[in-house]
Amino acid sequence: MNNMLHNRQIYSHIARHTSCFVTRQYSTSFSLSIRLLDHHIRGAIYAIYGFVRLGDEIVDTFIDHDRKAILEQFRQETFRALEYRVSMNPLLHNFQETVHKYDIDYDLIEAFFESMAMDLQTKQFERSNYTEYIYGSAEVVGLMCLKVFCKNSPESYQELEIHAKQLGAAFQKVNFLRDISQDTNELNRLYFPHFGNGLIDRAGLSRIVKEIESDFKDALLGIRKLPSNARFGVLLAYEYYQHLLEKLKTLSPESIQTTRIRVSNLMKFFLFLKTAVRFKLNII
């Protein structure tokens, strides 16, 4: 019995490291932000990121496969892992442990799959399904993370819920704007309904930027109230995406359609120092 328990602990350890490895391979920026979280909650955020990364890869990368069938199989495997509390997919095993430990709502997971399915069906989003898509692809991720941050305080979760959704939405919209060239040219998708004729124009771009700035402004109110074990890491991610938005604002619609901007390692280091000072002096 002791040997069985030991082996299960080894497998859970491997699963946690798999989620961490996947996160670090796909996103150096988010990886750094997660490392600044308290070590007691760090692993749970890796688990959430690893899970949603799988869904993203299915709909965005494997275009020469039956993505609808693969996504449905992944959905079934996820809920089976949640039911049986085990999975031979290390990422799903780690995710199900996190869901149960932090009482993450299954409705959030289902909403995520619904948005991933929309990626396979919708080429140009309207305002109604644009809002629905952002909720399932981004806002629920913020809510999952908030469940981790506020594990022992349901009252804090309820107070910060709207701000977590706004931060997730802001991150997603910045990603849409940064990746608009790849989305339109390679995946034949246009997420923003602000461009009624499908053409990227300055007026629509201005409306998008104002919408994101409003999301960021409201999200910051929530970051200020986060538990101290999560505030530094979330603030760094906020600063990184704010910087991306500022760079995007300098580009013309034509440039945005042809260029994918990046943040240099030197700038990432500067943003880290800036965030560290703000956090230390409580200037948020």
* Domain extent listing, the chain: 2-280
Q: Which CATH number fits domain 2-280: 1.10.150.20, 1.10.510.10, 1.10.600.10, 2.60.40.1230?
A: 1.10.600.10
Query: Can you say how many angstroms the Cα of residue 188 is from the centroid of all Cα atoms in its chain?
Result: 22
The reported pTM is 0.93
Average pLDDT of 211-221?
97
What residues are paired with 190 via a beta bridge? 124
pLDDT the model gives residue 1: 58
pLDDT digits (tens, 9 = 90+) for 94-130: 999 999 999 999 999 999 999 999 999 988 898 889 9
Tokens of 227: 């538990």
Grade residue 196 by pLDDT with cuts at 50, 70 and 90: low
Residue 233 CB-half CA count within 13 A = 21
Tokens of 58: 């299915």
d(CA 36, CA 223): 14
pLDDT the model gives residue 80: 98
